[in-house]
């Protein structure tokens, strides 16, 4: 576990208030009498990275869609901000896996940021753009960006309106190895600087071990949740990923 020290540094840098709380209560989804999600309960705080892992078909995407309100579900999502105001509709920033922009379409990064009404002169967004390091990309066309650059722009788009929860759907699916580290570093930095609860759905078990505060192992229902070490060492984890002795 040589990365454990790196992990501790990330947590120590924690700057957010930690008081805001997201509660996902009893989310269930049934499609044609097939149970896709069974009574999912997740609690998390701002400044935490919660990672959702599980085998293919475990319902991870369905859970994301339920949180986004795109899929019919039972149960509720509540959000308690630092002033103790409870809302059932927290602002959610969604970062998709990839974009479907055709390569030659003349939409620049600046265009897309404008459309998302991100004011690059506003202090908060100045900071976001600084963290994302996208100021050099502003005049590039969206279709010409690398996978990692696209992901950074998508993160910027998810930051307006300023989110309570930031949702990442497989953030590294289309990125090379160097880009992957950059994206996870950005996610960590965002967590350190803003009061946002971050949810990441990912297949990248190794990086999740290093960057997540909480891991939720699911297969239609929550099998195990806790710190990365607790989950990765559990029997449930070994059973799902069919490993005798996981080496991360």
Three-state secondary structure call for residue 156: helix
Quick check: bond before 161 cis, omega within 30?
Answer: yes
99 in contact with other proteins (CB under 8 A):
yes
Q: Kindly tell me which of 11 and 116 has the beta carbon lying closer to other proteins.
A: 116
Residue with tokens 């297949």: 203
Binding residue for other proteins, selected from 43, 127, 141, 221, defined by CB under 8 A: 141
31 in contact with other proteins (CB under 8 A):
no
Instruction: Tell me which residue of 146, 142, 206, 149 sits closest to 183, measured CA to CA.
Output: 149
Q: Kindly tell me which of 42 and 157 has the beta carbon lying closer to other proteins.
A: 157
Q: Kindly tell me which of 39 and 111 has the beta carbon lying closer to other proteins.
A: 111
Tokens for 18, please give them: 């930690």
Binding residue for other proteins, selected from 20, 44, 52, 142, defined by CB under 8 A: 142
Q: 120: number of CA atoms within 13 Å, CB side?
A: 17
Alpha-carbon 65 to chain mean position? 13
H helices present in 19-164, as ranges = 60-68, 109-115, 123-132, 147-158
124 in contact with other proteins (CB under 8 A):
no
Instruction: Tell me which residue of 4, 2, 46 sits closest to 228, measured CA to CA.
Output: 4
* Stretch 213-242: interaction string toward other proteins, x if CB under 8 A: ------------------------------
Region at 179 (left for phi over 0; alpha for psi -120 to 50; beta for the rest): alpha
Count of residues touching other proteins (by CB under 8 A): 31
With contacts defined by CB under 8 A, name the span among 33-41, 77-85, 86-94, 128-136 that binds other proteins. 86-94
Binding residue for other proteins, selected from 19, 80, 107, 173, defined by CB under 8 A: 107
How far apart (Å, rounded) are the C-alpha atoms in residues 118 and 124? 10
With contacts defined by CB under 8 A, name the span among 7-15, 129-137, 154-162, 190-198 that binds other proteins. 154-162
How far apart (Å, rounded) are the C-alpha atoms in residues 20 and 195? 8
* Stretch 41-80: interaction string toward other proteins, x if CB under 8 A: ------------------------x--x-x----------
Binding stretches for other proteins (CB under 8 A): 65, 68, 70, 92-94, 96, 98-102, 104-108, 110-112, 114-116, 139, 141-142, 154, 157-158, 167, 169
């Amino acid at each position: 576990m040589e990365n454990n020290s790196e992990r501790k540094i990330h947590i120590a840098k924690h700057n957010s208030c930690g008081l805001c709380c997201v509660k996902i209560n009893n989310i269930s989804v049934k499609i044609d009498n097939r149970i896709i999600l069974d009574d999912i309960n997740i609690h998390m705080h701002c400044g935490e990275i919660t990672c959702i892992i599980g085998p293919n078909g475990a319902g991870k995407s369905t859970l994301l869609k339920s949180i986004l309100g795109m899929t019919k579900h039972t149960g509720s999502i509540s959000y308690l901000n630092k002033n103790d105001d409870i809302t059932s509709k927290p602002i959610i920033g969604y970062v998709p896996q990839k974009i479907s922009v055709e390569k030659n379409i003349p939409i620049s990064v600046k265009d897309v940021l404008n459309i998302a009404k991100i004011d690059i002169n506003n202090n908060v967004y100045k900071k976001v753009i600084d963290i994302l390091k996208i100021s050099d990309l502003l005049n590039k066309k969206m279709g010409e960006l690398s996978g990692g650059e696209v992901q950074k722009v998508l993160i910027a788009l998810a930051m307006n309106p300023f989110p309570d929860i930031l949702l990442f759907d497989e953030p590294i699916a289309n990125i090379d190895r160097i880009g992957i580290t950059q994206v996870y570093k950005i996610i960590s930095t965002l967590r350190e600087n803003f009061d946002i609860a971050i949810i990441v759905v990912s297949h990248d078990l190794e990086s999740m071990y290093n960057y997540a505060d909480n891991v939720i192992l699911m297969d239609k229902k929550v099998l195990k949740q806790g710190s990365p070490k607790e989950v990765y060492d559990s029997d449930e984890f070994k059973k799902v990923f069919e490993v005798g002795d996981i080496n991360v």
